[in-house]
Amino acid sequence: MKVKAESPAGVALVAKAFQILDMFQIESPAWSQADLVRATGLNRSTVNRLVRFLASHGYLVQIGSSGQHTLGLAAIELGNRASAGFNLRKVCQSSMEALAAKINETVILSALDAANLAAVCVDQIEGRQEGLRVFESIGSRFPLHAGAAPKAILAFLPEDLQQEALDRDLKSYTDHTVVDRKAIEEALKLTRERGYAISREETFEGTIGIAAPILGPNGTAVASLAVALPIPRAKPETCKVIANELVSIAAGVTRHINGGAA
């Protein structure tokens, strides 16, 4: 059987089509062809041809007579199929098990609930440390201002979603939950600078939480990996080692889910 060689021109055209599709983001959902030409640097005839092709297959749809396009039903359906086939727990499981065995503390995977601006615990590997152990129930959720796992997500969301989360009622779960907006914003800035969040007794008394974000294709957080441990075992050097491990593992998962090597 003969295998037909790929056409460089054909591959380039596909790349340009994806370049156009990638312009349609949450913060910029509608584009005119003229704006696409300016933003992508592609020539006008190429943009016109690709937009018409994508629209004819349902991946783009024109908004009335405005001349602007948004993503169409075919793009939405493709996203739904990708979501259904993507199992974050499966992707993270081996790394979580290895980390839990290495540090003997509980490792928690939380996913973003974008509709409710909350972090939901979707998996955990309990630590084997003797004595006091920390664990979280699968399905438990916290708003994005409370605790390390939620804050690691919040710090890497678009500005408008951050503000929306902080405009809500900032509920306290313990006497140590940070509910001062300025203090939270400062913590989010520090989280972005160092790549991980840390909290002390914000959701459960007597515990320290450390978490790193898992980022999606547009560079915004979709989940976080966290370690929860009792305060007596949370020595500064221990927390630093755990933070470095989490940042490294979360970066590997990020590369994996975005098509790179883990």
Q: Which residues of 212-231 are buried (b: 16+ CB within 10 A; e: fewer)?
A: bbbbeeeebbbbbbbbbbbe
- Paired residues of 110 in beta bridges: 121, 224
Contact predicate 160/130, CB 8 Å: no
End-to-end alpha carbon distance in the chain? 34
Q: What is the pLDDT of residue 86?
A: 61
pLDDT tens for the chain, 262 residues: list them: 343 444 566 788 899 999 999 899 877 899 999 999 999 999 999 999 999 999 999 999 999 888 899 999 888 877 766 665 568 888 899 999 999 999 999 999 999 988 889 999 989 998 777 655 566 778 888 999 999 999 999 999 999 999 999 999 999 999 999 999 999 999 999 999 999 999 999 999 999 999 999 998 778 999 999 999 999 999 999 999 999 999 999 999 999 888 764 4
In which element (H, E) is residue 121 found? Answer: strand 118-125
User: pTM here?
Assistant: 0.69
CA gap 218, 157 in Å, rounded: 10
Domains of the chain, first to last: 8-81 (1.10.10.10), 86-257 (3.30.450.40)
Cβ atoms < 10 Å from Cβ of 164: 13
Which of 191, 208, 189 is closest to 199 using CA atoms? 208
CA gap 227, 231 in Å, rounded: 12
Q: What is the pLDDT of residue 7?
A: 55
Q: What is the pLDDT of residue 219?
A: 87
